[in-house]
Structure 1
Amino acid sequence: MNRFRTALLAGALLTLGLPAIAGAAPDTTMHAACPATVSTTPTMHCFALYRTGHSFGVNATPDGYGPADLRDAYKLPQTGGAGQTIAIVDAFDNPNAEADLAKYRQQFGLSACTTANGCFKKVNQRGAATPLPEGNPNWGVEISLDLDMVSAACPDCHILLVEADTPSSANLGAAEDTAAASGASAISNSYGSDEYNGMDVDAKHFQHAGVAILASSGDFGFQPASFPASLANVIAVGGTTLTKADNARGWTETAWSRAGSGCSAWIPKPAWQHDANCGMRTVADISAVADSDPGLAVYDTYGLGSSAGWITVGGTSASSPFIAGVIGLAGNGSQLTDASSLYAHADKLFDVVGGENGWCGGDYLCTGQQGYDAPTGVGSPNGFGAF
């Protein structure tokens, strides 16, 4: 069964796809923001998952981890990243993106990041402020998640949002080129698709000298690797389950049950990747929280009807922009044009042990183990020393 059919089945089992109805009981089901669709041309879908939870709406109390939780879990400073720009590439427009970002940052005591003060910028795939693509509520959730996670990791970073006209590989590739030309330190891509014949042509959009390019590993567990995370020069970001604990760190972290991992069918293994049971490129390289339980607090007012406002979000769509923000904190994006440096500095990361994302006989390809494993890579941030 190919990934698109698998994704469609997973999406159907996960949710019927409609937000909560006004006056109905709070919706605690996890929704796929961008359910996969079958297409005859290479088309990407975002990996964001969301639920409206027990407390939702514009005046609700945020439900899920906020920036202070994530800084504590990953031992990050409260400030840093001044002068760094993190680019987010998504499809379609979220017309409320800047206003919703302002609400998130105000709620959690982060400095304002606006067009007026030069911190935030939104452009189309050609790099122009107008005309923007048509709006899309599904990708709108992804955009809100991405902006909030960069903010959580790197409050002082500038943020560039590049919106592709559609989620085709051609348009997202053009948006990627625009993001790279902007001077961004890192670019986060929280989307993917099956690997496909012709992706070698599209791969050029994800290789830019002096720019760290990241992609989510996906939310469908252990199966063939997805594009663009499978590209050797892209930092593939997996997902973890993060739980508060009474231990020295204050948290425990294991492989998330839905974190994408697997072997590429097309991309040769990079010289710096040495795992034994996959002869091709293995995904993922690094990881951060992606579990939707308890999830991450995100503010989105576009397209969710009566559920607009605070939602709880998960997916490797969260971990990729968060890691991009950590790269911004470190200020070394130009040195991370692939994941090789992260492997070389794995001793400065938290080793994620435990959990599994499918069945592989207990092998590292689907099980959180000491050292490298495919669901979580070489680990999760422990400060930004590895970056």
Structure 2
Amino acid sequence: MKKILSVSGALLLLMSTFSTAPAAVAQPSPQANWHAERVCADVPAGNASCFALKYVDDSTGAAKALPQGSQVTPAGSTALSTGKTPADIQSAYNLTGLKSSGRTVAIVDAYGYPNLERDLGVYRSQFGLPACTVSNGCLTIMNQNGGSKLPRFNSGWADETALDVDAVSAACPDCKILVVQATTASFTNLGTAVATAAKQPGVAAISNSYGGGDSPDSTYGTYYNHPGIAVTASTGDNGYTGSSYPASSSYVTAVGGTSLVKDTSTRGWSESAWSGSGSGCSTVNAALPAAAAFGTGCSRRASADVAAVADPQTGLAVYAPNSSTSSSWAQYGGTSLSSPLIAAMYALSGNSGSSAALANSLPYTNAGKFNDVVSGSTGSCPTSQWCLAGSGWDGPTGVGTPNGVAGL
């Protein structure tokens, strides 16, 4: 697995290359000996890699254990409890008290995760969320064709799935959760899983926290084209490097990432573009008509459309597998976190189900209902707004992060 650079020092260095950079908002303080580590390896063309990032201690190789002082924290851990909780997520995005009326958020991932229901139960119990089980009808798990025979275990993708279901739980505790597990991480199998998810009753949103190189909708687009259902996709964790599919599809909402820090403002939180947030212009897929008035500078599909917290240093506390049998608390991020958060917010809004239009038009129609992120950078690029956050639309964060769910 690879280390990636995502701490604020790198962010500030990148910002210093732009003389017109806006004033920075509060940044997370760098923590010595910690780094973000990918849980899924690179894959050949025609396949996708999951984007989950785990916050790991350089000196011991251990994940950041959370929450501090809890009976589930590994004995002897001295790690600080910095992972975001459901209360944090709901406060930051003005979601507290909102209900989904039982709508379903579908999670599409590859491979199996035998202890998914058990681990989700630990997470929800820890934070006082209502139980979400197969027996009470809240949780459904199926294979890519809708059957009950599930794929083999894969440790990286199981981590991804744990992050996804915990993120949905954090943003929307009363949402039902459908997990559709593709046999492998090929785009064909993952796409088949998306199509299966879209056929299930009550599905309001489908989250895809994975990607590969920019690909044409003429090849895979039918899998993701579901008017009336919000389909979200992570833009990736490599900053300004071009587009990642399916985020570059014209049929999905491309979700970028921020660093989210508690502060003393009226909102109580500040956000800047996370340095790893994927941004760029597709070379093969059509621009969104709804984005035309926002001057993206891309002749084709621009990413991102919206954003939410993704910086693993300011990430979510997650109960995730260490192996096929054991699990523990750790802190996770990446745009793998922001995609299911936005999917859950779409489900809370219910707006996508009332229209035959694609849900990715809604943020542009309702841009004034988002928190505009005006600080942070994802690298160097030919047109500054593709990698530099600023007023209005920008590549790292799109039109911004949700302030409630009226914009989705």
TM over 0.5, yes or no? yes
Structure 1's unaligned 5+ residue stretches are 1-10, 16-25
Q: SS state of the match for residue 298, structure 1?
A: strand
Q: Partner letter of residue 136 of structure 1? A: N
Going from structure 1 to structure 2, the CA distance change for 1:208 and 1:294 (only over 3 Å counts) comes to closer
Q: Deviations 1:24-61 (Å, cap 9, x if unpaired)? A: xx983321011213x2x400000000025453598218
Deviation at 1:86, TM superposition (A): 0.5
In structure 2, the CA distance between the partners of 1:362 and 1:253, relative to structure 1 (3 Å rule), is farther
Contact 1:55 1:63 (8 Å CA) reproduced: no
User: How has the CA–CA distance of structure 1 residues 266 and 175 changed in structure 2, closer, same or farther, with 3 Å as cutoff?
Assistant: same
Tell me, in whole angstroms, the C-alpha distance in 2 between the residues paired with 1:34 and 1:82.
Answer: 34
Q: Unpaired segments of 5 or more residues in structure 2?
A: 6-31, 57-62, 75-80
**Is the contact made by 2:232 and 2:252 (CA closer than 8 Å) also made in structure 1?**
yes
Change (3 A) 1:362 1:173: closer
Does the 8 Å contact 2:213/2:243 carry over to 1? yes
- Report the Cα offset of residue 363 of structure 1: 1.1
Q: Which moved more, 1:46-55 or 1:95-104?
A: 46-55
Q: In the superposition, relative to structure 1, how do residues 384 and 12 fare at CA in structure 2: closer, same or farther (>3 Å)? A: closer
- TM-superposed deviation, 1:110: 0.5
Q: Distance in 1 between matches of 2:206 and 2:256?
A: 16
Give the SS at the match of 1:132: coil
Instruction: Specify the code of the residue in structure 2 equivalent to 1:35.
Output: A
1:203 to 198, 216, 221: 221
Q: CA separation of 1:361/1:251 partners in 2, compared to 1, >3 Å: closer, same or farther?
A: farther
Whichever residue aligns with residue 301 of structure 1, its letter is: P
1:107 counterpart = 2:107: no
The 3-state SS of whatever aligns with 1:214 is strand
Match of 1:353 among 371, 374, 379: 374
Q: Secondary structure at the match of 1:122?
A: strand
Q: Which residue of 1 aligns with 2:389?
A: 368
2-structure distance, mates of 1:209, 1:330:
15
Q: Which amino acid aligns with 1:293?
A: Q
Instruction: Please name the residue that 2:309 is paired with.
Output: 289
Q: What SS does the aligned partner of 2:185 have?
A: coil
Residue in structure 1 matching 2:99, options 80, 85, 101: 80
User: 2:124, 2:298 → 1: CA distance?
Assistant: 42
Secondary structure at the aligned position of 1:268 is classed as coil
1:300 matched to 2:310: no
Question: Contact 2:64–2:329 (CA<8 Å) still a contact in 1?
Answer: no
The farther-off stretch of 366-375 and 295-304 is 295-304
Corresponding residue number in structure 2 for 1:186: 205
Among candidates 323, 344, 347, match of residue 328 of structure 1:
347
Matched with 1:137 is 155
User: Is residue 107–residue 164 contact of structure 2 (8 Å, CA) maintained in 1?
Assistant: yes
Query: Mapping of 1:308-327 within 5 angstroms?
Result: 308-327=327-346
Change (3 A) 1:286 1:362: same
- Which letter does structure 2 place at the counterpart of 1:46? C
Q: Among all aligned residue pairs of Structure 1 and Structure 2, give the percentage whose two residues are the same amino acid.
A: 43
Partner of 2:363: 342
Q: What is the letter of the counterpart of residue 80 of structure 1?
A: K
The alignment of Structure 1 onto Structure 2 pairs a total of residues equal to: 362
Q: Partner residue of 1:214?
A: 232
Compared with structure 1, are the counterparts of its residues 289 and 276 closer, same or farther at alpha carbon in structure 2 (3 Å cutoff)?
Answer: closer
CA deviation after TM superposition for structure 1 residue 233, in Å? 1.6
* Matched-pair contact (CA < 8 Å) for 2:113–2:324: no
DSSP-derived class of the 2:130 partner? coil
Map 1:42-191 → 2, pairs under 5 A: 42-52=46-56, 53-55=63-65, 59-60=72-73, 63-129=82-148, 131-183=149-201, 184-191=203-210
- What amino acid sits opposite 1:47 in the alignment? F
Whether the aligned pair in 1 keeps the contact of 2:257 and 2:277 (CA below 8 Å) is: yes
Deviates further, 77-86 or 297-306: 297-306
Please tell me whether residue 34 in structure 1 is matched to residue 40 in structure 2. yes
Q: Distance in 2 between matches of 1:85 and 1:213?
A: 12
The residue number in structure 1 matching 2:21 is none
Q: Does structure 2 conserve the Cα–Cα contact (< 8 Å) formed by 1:79 and 1:155?
A: no
Kindly state the Cα deviation for residue 337 of structure 1 after the two structures are TM-superposed. Answer: 2.1
Structure 1, 111-120 or 208-217: larger mean CA deviation: 208-217
SS at match of 1:86: strand
Structure 1 stretch 58-67 or stretch 185-194: which is displaced more?
Answer: 58-67
Runs of 4+ in 1 over 4 A off after TM superposition: none
Tell me the residue number matched to 2:60: none
Q: TM-score, normalised by structure 1?
A: 0.89
C-alpha contact (below 8 Å) 2:64/2:331 kept by paired residues: no
Partner secondary structure for residue 280 of structure 1: coil
SS at match of 1:311: strand
The two structures have a TM-score, normalised by structure 2, of 0.84
- Matches of 1:348 and 1:13 in 2, distance apart? 36
Return the alpha-carbon distance in structure 1 between the equivalents of residues 236 and 285 of structure 2.
17
Residues 44 and 191, structure 1, Cα contact 8 Å, conserved in 2: yes
> What is the CA-CA distance between 1:199 and the residue it aligns to?
4.9
The question of whether the paired residues in 2 share the 8 Å contact of 1:214 and 1:234 is answered with yes
Give the secondary structure class of the aligned counterpart of 1:159.
strand
Q: Which amino acid in the other structure matches residue 34 of structure 2? A: T
Say if 1:241 and 1:290, in contact at 8 Å, map to a contact too.
yes
* Rounded Cα–Cα distance in structure 1 between residues aligned with 2:190 and 2:402: 28
Go from structure 1 to structure 2 and tell me whether the alpha carbon gap of 1:309 and 1:332 turns closer, same or farther (over 3 Å shift): same
State the distance in 2 between where 1:120 and 1:287 align.
Answer: 26
Q: What is the CA distance between 1:339 and its match in structure 2?
A: 1.5
Residue 283 of structure 2 aligns to a residue in which SS?
strand
The secondary structure found in structure 2 opposite 1:364 is: helix
How many angstroms does 1:222 deviate by?
0.4
Check conservation: 2:153, 2:324, Cα contact below 8 A.
no
